[in-house]
Amino acid sequence: MRGDPLRFGPGIDPAAPLARANPAAKLAVSLVLSVALLLTVDVVTAGTALVLEIAALPWCGLSPGALARRAWVLPAGAVPAAWAAAFLGTDSGATLLVLGPLTLTEGSAQAGAAVALRILAVGLPGVVLLSTTDPTALADSLAQNLHLPHRFVLAGLAGLSMFGILAEEGQTLRLARRARGLGGGGPLSRLRSLFGVVFALLVVSLRRATVLATAMEARGFGASPHRTWARPSPFTRSDTAFCLGGLALALLATAAGTATGSWHMVLS
Amino acid sequence: MPPHEQDTRTTGSDETPIEPGGGRNGLSLGLPWGLAPGHAATIAAGILLGIAVRAVGLPDTWELFGTSGDVLTTPVALLIALGTISVTGAVTARSPWRVVDLVVAAVIGVAGGLFLWGIATSWNALTTPLSFYPPASAGLAGLWLVPGVLGGLILRRPGAALFCELMAAVLEAVLGNQWGFSTVYYGVVEGLGAEFVLALLLYRGFGLLPAMLSGAGAGVSLALLDLAIWYPTFSASYRTAYIGLAILSGAVIAGVGSWALTRALARVGVLAPLASGAAAERV
């Protein structure tokens, strides 16, 4: 485990214009963009959205290095999916390339490009917006702005706070097992050893959760249906503007897709 | 491990001590599973209504998204009957969420999120050898469903499977994966799939079979969402294979796996403050 991925790493500026938006606004924008892009599989809509998203990146507070560290999974997922769609998908149009049982046609090449662009365009806003969101701010916003049940939200936050501790415990457990001479050998015994560590970690975390619950209850957590908040989570005009911007991006991409006639509903 | 009496008790479907009547009115008519007469009547009414809809049939003049009513008769009838049972199950479960349930659910969500994130980072490596047959990747789909089924089995509270799976999915998305925000939809849908089955059993069955059914239910919902979002071009035979493999994988990996894990955790004693631990307690 490399560090604590929940803390802002180097290269992330939480005070950038879009990074400091209310987490509820970020959720709304991610929701709108992903719905708009998941509805269709086509090059124009996904391409337009991706270009606009990249244009908005300078205000998101991620340095190129931080972006690369967070977003490398997107091309890693997009390339194999595109490959599968292009070579294994339904063939149509002129044949471009034949490699044994694999055929690349105009239709399947376009489908591959559409699939890849779609994965990138769906994934990018999530990666960027979530990586600049502090879990505590997210919980405050979920309970105060979206009015989700506060007991569940705050218990979730309490569970998250154990994240760093668990990483440490895992290291201790691994070292203890090494000292006992466990965990070496072939891949099978290493896998069994991994299971052992994971199970022990689960036991440790459940014990800690029980203690934490007792401590929270002793301080009156969840005793009253109403509660006051130490950290207010205001939803300002700039948050509304940010939401509208996200909506505009989704509408622009969809409009570009329908105008060129390439917008294609995924379910039909 | 030698099976002995105390351990087999976790596999039973009715291990929770049941107060007769179960309802506020204190009437005891000896109904099974501690159901109050009103709740039993609601369930019966739902089933009867479902049967009635199936028998009468929906008019074919009525259309929904271009599908005429007569085709939708059976699905709608099933929806009415099963929906009534599961909602009644959620309402009648005599188990409010205590603070310890909330925090343990959150920790299962966090651990599950780490687990899912690990799977997500190795997903391409795991599925690339399977790409000779596109639907084959559904055979590993059960891995995604473990947090929800595990949470449902450990906590035995209405909504536990949904909460744990959703929390795990949100954490997976926050840590960063190739599916971005859509991971959250998956969390909701998979959690609801597992939850729906537990609710159908009125939150009174948490043994091996309910665990497998719950995993299978989550597998169905995962497969349907996958097919709709990522594999819209699959042929009919691919679709069937994908759904079948996802059900199997959900039942085996998530169902049997979570059941075994719950049993192992109960043996260690960490579940003692929870409903599942109370049911498995050694006398």
Is A102 an interface residue toward B (CB < 8 Å)?
no
CB contact under 8 A, A89 and B264: no
Q: A162, B111 in Cβ contact below 8 A?
A: no
Other CB atoms within a 10 A radius of the CB of residue B121 amount to 16
Q: Is the pLDDT of residue A1 over 70?
A: no
CB contact under 8 A, B233 and A90: yes
Q: B219, B254 in Cβ contact below 8 A?
A: yes
Q: What is the pLDDT of residues B88-133, one digit of tens each?
A: 877 777 678 899 999 999 999 999 998 898 888 888 788 878 877 8
Q: B223, B243 in Cβ contact below 8 A?
A: yes
The CA distances from residue B41 to A246, B49, B211, in Å, are: 48, 12, 27
Is A195 an interface residue toward B (CB < 8 Å)?
no
Phi, psi values for residue A257, rounded to 5°:
-65, -45
Mean pLDDT of B230-234: 77
**ipTM value:** 0.80
Q: What is the pLDDT of residues A69-103, one digit of tens each?
A: 878 878 887 887 788 777 766 666 667 777 766 77
B151 CA to chain A: closest CA distance, Å? 12
Average confidence score pLDDT of chain B: 81
Q: A154, A179 in Cβ contact below 8 A?
A: no
Contacts of A126 in chain B (CB under 8 A): 173, 179-183
Confidence of residue A11 (pLDDT cuts 50, 70, 90): confident
CB contact under 8 A, B99 and A213: yes
Contacts of A32 (CB under 8 A, 6+ apart): A243, A246, A247, A250
Q: What is the pLDDT of residues B169-222, one digit of tens each?
A: 988 888 777 777 788 899 999 999 999 999 888 888 899 999 999 999 999 999
Confidence of residue B31 (pLDDT cuts 50, 70, 90): low
